[in-house]
Structure formats: C-alpha cells, structure tokens
C-alpha cells in the first residue's frame, strides 16, 4: 500500500531545518526531515577531528544567538539533553601593548577595562538592556513593522553606520575600538560598509545579556536535543540520503529546503519558474572561511592570562588591522595577517579533552573559494599574543573552503553564514519578496540561513519559514515566539 502523504518534508537537518520541522510538528503537521549526512546537525556537529578523546566543533562553536533565540528559548531543549556552559567572559581581545580588552556580562566591569571609553560603551548598549529580548525578537525576524518600534529605531540609528565609522565616532581609544571591531567582524562584511555596525552592536549587547556559551559535549548536543524533541512530537528523521531531484522525496503537501539558493534552484528545477531560478542564481555568497582545530597539551599560553576566561578570543589587534583583514577577504585578497575568531571550548567544558589537555579552534575569513593554505598565518597570529603556542600543539586539523563545501553543499565556496548580509541582501534574501520564505511554487519554501535573519545557530529562519508553510497547510502556527523574559 502506498504511504499516506506527509504534510511536510524538510530537506536538510541543520538548526534551521530542525527548527522548521519542530514548529510544523507543533502546529499539528506530519513531518519528515531528510538529511544527506549520516548524522543530523549541519553546522552544529562535533567530532574527534584530531586525536581520540579530543572533541572538536566541526563548524559552530559558541552560541550567543542559540541561547537567546526567541524560538529556542521556548523549547524544552534541556529536557532533551542540552546543557549550556557559560564562560567567565564572552570575549577577550588581546592587544600588543597592555592587557587584553575583556567583554564581561557586567557592563560596569567591561566599562572599567575600557578606561576613558567606558562611558561611551555604556551609552552604546545600555538603552537596550531593559528589555533585550524585545529587540532580539524584532531583529531576528523578516522585514515587517516591529513590535517594539522605539527599540528598533534606536538600534537602527546605531546600526546604519559602518563599524569603522561608529567605532571612531563613539570611542577615542584603541581598546574600545578594537573590541567593537572584533564583534562587528562576525558580519563577514568589510567594516567600512554601512550596516556592518549592526552585528557589532548586536554581539556586544548579547554579551551583556548572556555569557556566550558552548554546548556541553560539543555543538552536536544542540542538534541531538532538537532531533530528540522533534521525534517526541512525532516527527521523523531519515539520514544518509542526499536529495538531487524533487521526485526522490516522499509525497508531501509542502517541501522546505534547508539548503543554499543554488541547491533550491537545482533540486526544484522546472517546478520553479525560470525567472525565479535566475534571480536565485544572482544570490551573493561572499567570503569563505579557513579553519584550524588543535589538540593541545595544555591551555593556550596567552601573554595576558585573562584571555583564558573567555569562550571567544578575537585575535587581530587594532580596529585598523581588523578592518584591513576583513576588507581583504571580501575583496578577494588572502588577509595578511588575518583576523581570527578563536574559541577555547575546553576552558569551559572539561569533557572536550583528556585531563590536563585542551582543544583550540580558530578560523579566519578568506576570499570566496580561496585555495590558499592559511595554517601558518593563523598560527603566527596566535603566537603573536600567546608566545610558545606552537609548542603546545599535539595535532591539528585544517578545513579550507573546498573542504567546507564537500562537508556541506550549503557552504558554497567556503561560505559559512548563508551568504552576504549587507543592506541589499540582509532582508531580501534569497530574493526580494513580500514573504522571503515562500517561492512562486506554493508547495516549495526555503528555510535555511539564506533567508532572514541569516547565519547562526538560532533556528529563526526555520521558525519563520514554518509559519509561512503552516499557513499554506491551513494550520494555525503557535503564538509568536515570545520576546519577554521568562
């Protein structure tokens, strides 16, 4: 007998695919997720990449957006095994002369370390701290009338600048400028571009709401918790099956793609009008990433030991240096020297390495599809602020853009955040449409990081896509993810 048609199939089990499936199951839909890899999780997986007993995060490592996601905060993920472990500081930004700049949850303590710029840092973030979840709910949504227009207006007035300009307008000293530049560099935009300040403000703000956490046991724990919750709601998951054509899918009323726009166009083929596929073909992916994971025989020997307090270390020196590195990667030149996002998960989570040993993780942005080996450049930057670092390396594992794309076809050219998130493409992703998750085919939806609000392990793209799809199914989505603090 033929299987009864499902309400929904989701192609891909990244955080957005799983979030979409959960939101659909919560609305009463029958859902199956079909995943190419043998394990769920997409950009949230962990593995012993170097030596036995050393657990590394293959992609995402630190999760301010995960712990603060309006959707994830509503889900009982702790009941499904997810434990967030918080560091003593979110960010350390080592400097050549003087102590590292530290970003603590405490605004006062952070401001103290910024000297004469402490008050300006407080002025930048303080207005959002009365109700940060309201701002996050508006900012992590598709373009629409905000529920909290005053907070969004305030945020917009700061974010419209380039990170470089806002840092220079707000701060007089190198320390605060560098700290802000490091936060803004998560945007993967040149820091001289309008809107590159937005992620700088957002990441700075999140650090005063939550210490940027890691998942106990590795980022794969996030995916396992999401998958377990989905199964408890009746959802099904099939792994080890890569979809190349729509007719390979089980019968379903709607299909959600947790894929790149390029894969949506290719897999859907004639089911989408040629004009729409051409527009998907014009989607801009942006710079890629080159990443190293290390098994270490001790902690990273930072010149300033305070750096060990942070889950994330921004390694790259001054505002000018960070601007140069990010600008180079965007414009097609391998950054020399690069700006590093370095994570030291084992400082927060002892389960990541054998006793007394540590894991290290660092990546830099590089030109799209770059084939340049950045190993020496990355390790030289760490040595600059942690002399003797190389002597601690027991083993290393490298991934360049081609490796990322092989690992996950969504990471085209090594792009790790779903595509350029500039003024033209942040909300208009993958193309300009009133409902960016819907396509001209009423059965097909996109739910990946190539939709608003973009990259990161927060599941909000999947959540919003599921709302759009469940309306199409004639089901009532649950009440909107609540912005209020519990």
Positions touching ligand FAD (CB under 6 A) are 11-17, 34-37, 42-44, 59-63, 65-66, 242-243, 258-259, 263, 289, 291, 363, 404, 408-411, 416-418, 448-449, 455-457, 461
- Please report how close the Cβ of residue 241 comes to ligand FAD at its closest, in angstroms: 7
Return d(Cα 367, Cα 315) in angstroms, integer: 19
Residue closer to ligand FAD, measured from CB, 46 or 159:
46
* Residue 256, helix vs strand vs coil: strand
* Residue 238, helix vs strand vs coil: strand
- Please report how close the Cβ of residue 388 comes to ligand FAD at its closest, in angstroms: 26
H helix count then E strand count, the chain = 16, 16
- Please report how close the Cβ of residue 341 comes to ligand FAD at its closest, in angstroms: 7
- Please report how close the Cβ of residue 121 comes to ligand FAD at its closest, in angstroms: 23
Q: Rounded to 10 degrees, what is the CA torsion of 214, 220, 221, 227?
A: 140
State the Rg of the chain over Cα: 21
Residue closer to ligand FAD, measured from CB, 381 or 410:
410
Return d(Cα 353, Cα 389) in angstroms, integer: 17
Return d(Cα 66, Cα 289) in angstroms, integer: 21
**Residue whose entry in the numeric block shows the structure tokens 């942005």:** 365
* Residue 123, helix vs strand vs coil: helix
Return d(Cα 423, Cα 432) in angstroms, integer: 12
The secondary structure element, H or E, covering residue 398 is strand 393-399
Q: Is the peptide bond before 337 cis (omega within 30 degrees of 0)?
A: yes
* Residue 44, helix vs strand vs coil: coil
- Please report how close the Cβ of residue 197 comes to ligand FAD at its closest, in angstroms: 19
Computed from CA positions of residues 111, 104, 155, 166, in that sequence, does the dihedral angle turn out positive or negative? positive
Residue closer to ligand FAD, measured from CB, 240 or 388:
240
The 10 Å Cβ neighbour count of residue 98 is: 10
Residue closer to ligand FAD, measured from CB, 117 or 262:
262
Residue closer to ligand FAD, measured from CB, 132 or 455:
455
- Please report how close the Cβ of residue 119 comes to ligand FAD at its closest, in angstroms: 30
**Residue whose entry in the numeric block shows the structure tokens 């993958």:** 430
Which pair of tokens denotes residue 261?
């726009």
- Please report how close the Cβ of residue 318 comes to ligand FAD at its closest, in angstroms: 23
Residue closer to ligand FAD, measured from CB, 42 or 317:
42
8 Å CB contact between 393 and 296? yes
- Please report how close the Cβ of residue 57 comes to ligand FAD at its closest, in angstroms: 7
The 10 Å Cβ neighbour count of residue 67 is: 23
- Please report how close the Cβ of residue 355 comes to ligand FAD at its closest, in angstroms: 25
């Amino acid at each position: 007998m033929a299987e009864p048609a499902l309400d929904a199939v989701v192609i891909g089990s990244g955080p957005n695919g799983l979030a979409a499936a959960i939101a659909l199951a919560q609305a009463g839909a029958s859902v199956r997720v079909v995943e190419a890899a043998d394990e769920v999780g997409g950009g949230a997986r962990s593995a012993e990449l170097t030596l036995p007993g050393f657990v590394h995060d293959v992609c995402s490592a630190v999760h301010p957006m995960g712990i603060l996601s309006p959707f994830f905060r509503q889900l009982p993920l702790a009941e499904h095994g997810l434990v967030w472990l918080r560091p003593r500081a979110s960010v350390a930004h080592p400097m050549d002369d003087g102590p590292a700049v530290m970003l603590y949850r405490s605004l006062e303590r952070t401001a103290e370390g910024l000297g004469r710029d402490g008050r300006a840092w407080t002025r930048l973030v303080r207005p959002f701290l009365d109700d940060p979840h309201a701002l996050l709910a508006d900012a992590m949504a598709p373009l629409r009338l905000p529920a909290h227009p005053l907070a969004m207006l305030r945020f917009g007035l700061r974010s419209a600048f380039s990170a470089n300009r806002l840092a220079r307008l707000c701060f007089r000293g190198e320390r605060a400028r560098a700290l802000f530049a490091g936060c803004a560099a998560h945007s993967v935009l040149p820091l001289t571009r309008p809107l590159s300040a937005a992620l700088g403000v957002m990441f700075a703000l999140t650090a005063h709401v939550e210490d940027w956490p890691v998942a106990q046991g590795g980022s794969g724990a996030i995916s396992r918790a999401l998958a377990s919750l989905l199964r408890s709601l009746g959802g099904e998951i099939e792994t080890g099956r890569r979809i190349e054509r729509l007719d390979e899918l089980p019968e379903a009323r709607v299909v959600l793609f947790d894929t790149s726009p390029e894969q949506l166009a290719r897999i859907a083929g004639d089911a989408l009008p040629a004009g729409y596929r051409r527009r998907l073909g014009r989607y801009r992916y942006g710079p890629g990433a080159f990443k190293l994971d290390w098994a270490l025989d001790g902690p990273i020997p930072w010149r300033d030991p305070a750096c060990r307090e942070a889950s994330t270390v921004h390694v790259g020196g001054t505002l000018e240096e960070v601007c140069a590195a990010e600008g180079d990667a965007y414009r097609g030149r391998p950054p020399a020297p690069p700006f590093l996002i370095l994570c030291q998960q084992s400082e927060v989570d002892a389960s990541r390495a054998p006793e007394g040993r540590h894991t290290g993780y660092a990546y830099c942005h590089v030109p799209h599809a770059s084939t340049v080996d950045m190993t020496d450049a990355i390790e030289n930057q760490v040595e600059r602020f942690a002399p003797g670092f190389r002597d601690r390396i027991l083993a290393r594992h490298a991934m360049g853009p081609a490796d990322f794309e092989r690992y996950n076809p969504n990471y085209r050219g090594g792009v790790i955040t779903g595509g350029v998130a500039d003024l033209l493409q942040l909300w208009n992703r993958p193309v300009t449409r009133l409902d960016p998750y819907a396509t001209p085919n009423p059965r097909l939806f996109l739910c990946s990081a190539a939709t608003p609000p973009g990259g990161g392990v927060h599941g909000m793209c999947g959540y919003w896509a599921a709302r759009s799809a469940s309306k199409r199914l004639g089901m009532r989505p649950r009440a909107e993810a609540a912005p209020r603090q519990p």
